[in-house]
Amino acid sequence: MSMVQLPGLQAMIDGISQERNLPKIAVQEALREALLKGYERYRRTYRPDTEVFDEHYFDNFEVELDTEEEGFRILSTKTIVEVANVPDHQIALKEVQEVASEAQLGDTVILDVTPEQSDFGRMAAIQTKQVLSQKLRDQQRRMVQEEFQDLEGTVLTARVLRFERQSVIMAVSSGLGQPEVEAELLKRDQLPNDNYRVNMSLRVYLKKVSEGLHRGPQLLVSRADAGLVVYLFANEVPEIEDEIVRIVAVAREANPSSRSVGPRTKIAVDTLERDVDPVGACIGARGSRIQVVVNELRGEKIDVIRWSPDPATYIANALSPARVDEVRLINPEDRQAHVLVPEDQLSLAIGKEGQNVRLAARLTGWKIDIKDTGKYDQEEEDRKIQKLLDERRLAEEEQQQYEQAANEFDELAEMELQDDGTEVEENLGEQMELLDPNAIAEEQVEQPQIDNTLTESPSESVALPYSSDPDAPIPNDPAGVTADPLDDTHDSDEEPGSRETPNLNSDELAHDSNPQDEDFENMEEDLDDLSDNRDIEQKDSDSMEDIASSALQDEADHDQQIVSETEDSDVDIDNQ
């Protein structure tokens, strides 16, 4: 078997594995794919004009690496057929039986199709190098994704590497002894008080592990996320780690819109132990614990408050350090509250550019309106609130009525559709019974025989007159040409219209009338209507033909008149 020599193959695999922090198996797999792409480029460059390579043409080819002899081979899996039409995919049975007599049609064989080393051109080598670099990057990104997928949402220690535009490229590690991976710190995730320098170590929050094969760092870290504050407190306060004190909610504004406003955080804590003060446990003796967190966040202001199940108490604590007189829960459903504070506490409760009340609203989840206690008119506010509640109640009632009416309309429409469908099915069933001769025969057997004439088939008792003249009228009453079963004296010479009709009351008619005759009479009436419509259409067509013929005749007369006048004028000119 031939082989293309690659001197230093094993050393190359070891070097790539160490440089890119990839296992040797991944490097070998990437090298096989790159060499196969190079062979494909070689075949496409020197292919005959008769061959056409589609996307899946080279799926039956593979590369075999030999690290001991430092080379590779190209192998092709071919199917045994009677006549090989595609040499790259098929092989003739006769050729295989010369080597293996037990070969049969449909079997597959693996053949060595390695070209000579000199046949590989410069373009094939360049293609192999490019594909190898791309496959190695893909393997590296896949390994990073698998390594950091479980660490998403945790805090890591990062080291500043370089700066790109407004972003900071940092190196993070998933654990002790693990290789460092690049991560990106965007501008919006940076703290305004941070001063980044190369090789500077910081704690960052792993915000997202990007999937896919896009360019750039695969990890996104943040210094402005609220999860970083939670981690720092959990790291500094043993009671939080022991689950004696729990953090209920955090509201953070790390990048205020105005430069005059600094970053600030409010954190709500609680405990189930009566002997433990959750706020004091987070602050520490003389503020030692919270000071460590503030230093890590570069002087960010942090307010630690006590959580309460009572919304009024919770809102009052959230507005700390302002002193609150009263909290009125105006609309608990929409979570709206009015907070009454003294005049000297009004600016403190609102905060610089509304930062304090904004963070309190985020922390509690209530819409908070700060009001001055001295200027607050309770009756007027109650009246406004009641008006708003009434308007909302009316709107909800109208919405309910509209939905109820819509539901009733849908139910009625559905019932009408069901009724229409049932009626159509019944009508179809009745018509099929009328057309079924077996059902008609059964009804005739069950019907009591009043006279011998009733045993005749209804189809024989109805005689429709036929005339070749299309204008001949068709009688509307088919009973005029049938015998009356109640008349004993039947005269064949007597005209049907001259016979006297016996006087029968409604009961006798209802008792003696045949329902099948009535059905056939209805059918004959439909035929009469159809014939009348046909006569009308025939008359309309005749009238249209008359109009068209008269128009043609008039046009012919007009043309004849013009010709005559032309001849007369020619005669006059000749005479002159």
pLDDT tens by residue, 390-414: 888 888 888 888 888 888 888 888 8
Please report, for the chain, the start and end positions of each structural domain, with discontinuous segments joined by +: 4-142, 152-222, 379-434
pLDDT along the chain (576 residues), means of 10: 78 85 85 87 69 77 86 88 85 85 85 78 78 83 81 91 92 77 91 91 90 71 94 93 94 89 94 92 93 93 94 94 90 89 92 93 94 84 80 85 86 78 59 52 47 39 38 41 40 41 41 48 59 56 60 65 55 47
Cβ-contact 271, 199 below 8 angstroms: no
Q: At a CB cut-off of 8 Å and minimum separation 6, what does 454 contact?
A: 447, 485, 514
Cβ-contact 434, 442 below 8 angstroms: no
Element (H, E) at 570: helix 515-575
Separation between Cα atoms, residue 321 and residue 305, nearest integer Å: 10
DSSP alpha helices (H): ranges in 342-466?
Answer: 346-350, 355-364, 378-435, 437-446, 458-461
Cβ-contact 25, 87 below 8 angstroms: no
Specify the pLDDT at position 483.
Answer: 39
Specify the pLDDT at position 531.
Answer: 55
* Geometric angle at alpha carbon 179, from 16 and 194, rounded to 5°: 130
CATH architecture of 4-142: 2-Layer Sandwich (3.30)
Q: At a CB cut-off of 8 Å and minimum separation 6, what does 139 contact?
A: 20, 22, 26, 27, 29, 30
Structure tokens at 299: 């002087």
C-alpha neighbours within 13 Å on the C-beta side of residue 498 = 6
Specify the pLDDT at position 470.
Answer: 40
Structure tokens at 522: 């209805």
Helix, strand, coil percentages (3-state) for the chain, rounded to 5, are 50, 20, 30
Structure tokens at 294: 């503030």
Specify the pLDDT at position 327.
Answer: 92
CATH architecture of 152-222: Beta Barrel (2.40)
Angstrom CA distances, 555 to 544, 560, 565, stand at 17, 9, 15
- Among candidate residues 476, 483, 455, the one with its CA nearest the CA of residue 521: 476
Specify the pLDDT at position 184.
Answer: 92
Specify the pLDDT at position 456.
Answer: 40
- Among candidate residues 510, 509, 522, the one with its CA nearest the CA of residue 477: 522
Structure tokens at 349: 């409760």
Q: At a CB cut-off of 8 Å and minimum separation 6, what does 464 contact?
A: 474, 478, 524, 527
